[in-house]
A and B are shown apart, each in its own frame.
Chain A
Amino acid sequence: MKFRDEYRDPEAASRLAAAIARTVTRDWTLMEICGGQTHAILRYGIDELLPARVSLIHGPGCPVCVTPVEYIDKAIAIALTPGAVLCSFGDMLRVPGSREDLFAAKAKGGDVRIVYSPLDALAIARTEPARQVVFFAVGFETTAPANAMAAFRAKQEGLKNFSMLVSHVLVPPAMEALLAAPGNRVQGFLAAGHVCTIMGTREYEPIAVHHRVPIVVTGFEPLDILEGVYLCVKQLEEGRAEVENQYSRSVRAEGNVAAQRIMREVFEITPRRWRGIGDIAASGFGLSEAYRDFDAERRFGAVAHDGMENNECIAGLVLRGEKKPPECPAFGTRCTPEHPLGVTMVSSEGACAAYHRYRGARG
């Protein structure tokens, strides 16, 4: 397939790896914040192609993983409400809430339906007017335009039986929080190419300048990631700290203006709790005033929960890039994809799941 297979060429990959090895003169620590990049790195073994001096750590790039446990509990409560239909992306179903997951709620009789697109949830609302259809709207900025369109259309059509449980997260505030944390080791970032396809590259410039870190907007095929690493270490070696666009075949500096317009109308920036990290100011999207009627939290009211996490799970440390999954004592033994203790093992984009899938129980 064009624009895909050529970015997986082994000869080109080793050429880039050799260029990286030639360029580094000291140790550097880079972070990527994209579940898709995490998986590509492990699937193709890109980390093993890099010279030992370059450490590539995985940040909180999995939106499923960082969805606060309270929201899982709310989704479960909605699913178990008679007359309600909870629609969700597939990988939310096995994410543990305080007591159980959505899959268990479905087994108990809750109406939980997997959808590929938020528009599928809208379609369900239209064909089942007697049910209250709720779409579990999670994701980074990449998914926000699609979720916004669902609310936008619902309002246009005056749908009375559709609402959204919104738990969107934004990348730049998370980057800032990680950089500001004491003991931060990250010296350069690979920014998520799909997030930037929507948002553009400009909002990363203040971060690069203020924290003096290079930020390379990177795609997620092997050659993209290798080129992204190369450009990032080159900047570090040369003492530069700029925003660079490796994924220019998809990302423009201004991003996708049409998407941003709908997002601005439907969403507003809110504080958000990131599971495993904590509260980060202005780091999420909630429904704007004009769309508040479509907020499932309003429609379904408060949900009691205790927000307890499994004691042994170190998902927070993994999400912040402070530990790699094989360093967890439970990895591959008490915590496996069949019996996950936490989100990073459950989600298809989670770092622990990626390590287990491509490196086995021994990591």
Chain B
Amino acid sequence: MQTARVDFGGVIKEINLAYTPEARIGDYVLVHVGFAISVLDADEAGRIFKHLEELGVLEQEA
């Protein structure tokens, strides 16, 4: 059973990777009760900020 050391910003816990077999060192994961349940998608993570830019433009126009 694959586990990994996951850094929660200075706190390190051993987490089970059974549900994220694609995870690699350096990836960011969502963790719940000791299991990584998804690998965060960096491109998608940026989407909200692009959306905010669009909204900011709309705000200026309004």
Contact = CB atoms under 8 A, between A and B. Distances in A.
- Chain B binding surface SS class: mixed
Nearest to A139: B33
Contacts of B59: 15, 18-19, 22
Interface stretch (A74-82, A92-100, A248-256, A265-273): A248-256
Nearest to A6: B49
A197 to B, nearest CB: 5
Contacts of A142: 32, 37
A16 B52 contact: yes
B30 A197 contact: yes
A278 B21 CA distance: 39
A109 B37 CA distance: 36
B9 to A, nearest CB: 4
Interface residues of A, number: 40
A259 B19 CA distance: 6
Nearest to B15: A117
A286 B62 CA distance: 54
Most buried by A among B37, B45, B58, B59: B37
B33 A143 contact: yes
Contacts of A198: 37
B40 A12 contact: no
- Chain A binding surface SS class: helix
B57 to A, nearest CB: 11
Interface of B: 1, 8-9, 16, 18-21, 28, 30, 32-35, 37-38, 40-42, 44-45, 47-49, 51-52, 55-56, 58-59, 62
Interface of A: 1-4, 6-7, 12, 15-16, 18-19, 22, 89, 116-120, 142-143, 145-146, 149, 153, 194, 197-198, 223-224, 227, 246, 248-252, 256, 258-259, 262
Given A142-B37, A146-B35, A259-B37, 18 more contacts: A3-B45, A15-B55, A19-B55, A116-B33, A116-B34, A145-B37, A146-B16, A146-B33, A146-B34, A149-B35, A153-B1, A194-B32, A197-B38, A198-B37, A223-B48, A249-B40, A256-B20, A256-B38
